[in-house]
């Protein structure tokens, strides 16, 4: 196991009458790409806020880059970069001015600021917009600028809270390209909170969090092997066909006129086709995913239908 960049022991946090974090334990090695995967309200943002020194836990311990985030808050903060879920850019300033101000806050020399600003603008492909006022940028460009700003002072750890929410697929892919390159080339430790399972399939570590507790933790391959489910995705030709199929496969789930049927062995595919081949217009085998891991562990989907429909609307 690599040396720990982040170490959390028995962390708890209560907001009002709600126990938001319930004894969280987590270790993330230096240079790893790690994700907190869970639905809205699971406790992801609260945990990140504690790790960034923005709020204190009720009990437990959190060590970031070798420093206690409660007792050594300012020292720990100097070692991290943060991209918040909601934009915190000054929209009245230009792209370069936002980066310049960040460098001043972190005590970077004029020479270091100017050199690093050029590096970051090139990384996120915003060099041509350096003098553009931020309020005129697209949502994707603003998010890229926030990543450049968070990395400007060369942190050892980068926290990103739902960094791609509301962004189109192309921009999301672009952002992950930047972060993968940085992690590979510089040894940057990355911790992301998200509910987009497909974005973290290639990460080193995924921690599934639900109702303030980490219910599973490990490499994506291991999680899928242990908890994932292979599913048949079939479209019945009509309501009668759907009724016949669900009568035999009561665990089938329905969404957008498609049945999702869990299977445990390949022979069940042949059995299904023999019984219902003429009742379906299409059939697809979906291998185990992190989404299926979450479903297996909690009995519900990570994102609801309304949320997925909204995302399809944005993509189109």
Q: Which CATH number fits domain 225-315: 2.60.40, 1.10.260, 3.30.70, 3.20.20?
A: 3.30.70
> Where residue 164 falls among pLDDT bands split at 50, 70, 90?
confident
In angstroms, the Cα distances linking 273 to 31, 230, 278 are: 47, 16, 8
pLDDT digits (tens, 9 = 90+) for 20-35: 999 999 999 999 999 9
pLDDT digits (tens, 9 = 90+) for 210-237: 999 999 999 999 999 999 888 899 999 9
Phi-psi region of 17 (alpha: psi -120 to 50; beta: other; left: phi over 0): alpha
Task: Return the structure tokens found at 204.
Answer: 């080193």
Q: Which CATH number fits domain 4-222: 1.10.10.10, 3.20.20.80, 3.40.50.300, 3.10.180.10?
A: 3.40.50.300
Q: Write the DSSP string, 103-127.
A: HHHTT--HHHHHHHHHHHHHHTT-G
Please tell me the predicted confidence (pLDDT) of residue 226.
Answer: 92
Please tell me the predicted confidence (pLDDT) of residue 99.
Answer: 97
Q: Where are the domains of the chain?
A: 4-222, 225-315
Q: Between the CA atoms of 11, 70, 43 and 199, what dihedral angle is there, to the nearest 10 degrees?
A: -110
Percentages helix, strand, coil for the chain (3-state, rounded to 5) are 40, 30, 30
Q: Please state the φ and ψ torsions of residue 85, each to the nearest 5 degrees.
A: -65, -40
pLDDT digits (tens, 9 = 90+) for 53-70: 999 999 999 999 999 999
Please tell me the pTM assigned to this model: 0.84
Distance CA(82)–CA(49), nearest Å, equals 10
Count CA atoms closer than 13 A to 279's CA, side-chain side: 18
pLDDT surpasses 50 at 130: yes
């Amino acid at each position: 196991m690599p040396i720990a960049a982040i170490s959390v022991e028995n962390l708890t946090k209560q907001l009002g009458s709600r126990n938001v974090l319930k004894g969280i334990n987590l270790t993330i090695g230096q240079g790893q790409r790690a994700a907190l995967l869970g639905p809205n309200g699971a406790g992801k943002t609260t945990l990140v806020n504690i790790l960034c020194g923005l709020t204190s836990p009720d009990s437990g311990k959190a060590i970031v880059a070798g420093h206690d985030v409660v007792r050594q808050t300012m020292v720990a903060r100097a070692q991290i970069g943060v991209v918040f879920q909601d934009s915190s850019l000054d929209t009245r300033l230009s792209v370069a001015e936002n980066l310049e101000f960040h460098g001043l806050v972190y005590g970077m020399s004029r020479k270091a600021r100017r050199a690093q600003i050029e590096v970051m603008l090139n990384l996120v492909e915003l060099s041509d917009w350096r003098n553009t006022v931020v309020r005129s940028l697209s949502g994707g460009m603003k998010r890229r600028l926030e990543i450049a700003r968070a990395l400007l002072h060369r942190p050892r750890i980068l926290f990103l809270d739902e960094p791609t929410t509301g962004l189109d697929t192309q921009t999301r892919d672009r952002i992950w390209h930047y972060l993968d390159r940085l992690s590979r080339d510089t040894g940057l430790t990355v911790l992301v909170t998200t509910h987009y399972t497909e974005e973290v399939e290639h990460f080193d570590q995924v921690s599934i969090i639900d109702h303030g507790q980490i219910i599973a933790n490990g490499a994506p391959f291991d999680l899928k092997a242990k908890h994932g489910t292979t599913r048949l995705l079939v479209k019945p030709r009509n309501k009668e066909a759907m009724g016949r199929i669900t009568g035999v496969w009561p665990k089938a789930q329905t969404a957008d006129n498609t049945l999702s049927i869990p299977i445990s062995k390949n022979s069940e595919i042949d059995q299904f086709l023999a019984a219902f081949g003429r009742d379906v217009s299409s059939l697809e085998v979906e291998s185990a995913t992190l989404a299926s891991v979450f479903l297996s562990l909690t009995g519900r989907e990570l994102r609801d239908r309304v949320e997925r429909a909204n995302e399809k609307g944005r993509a189109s």
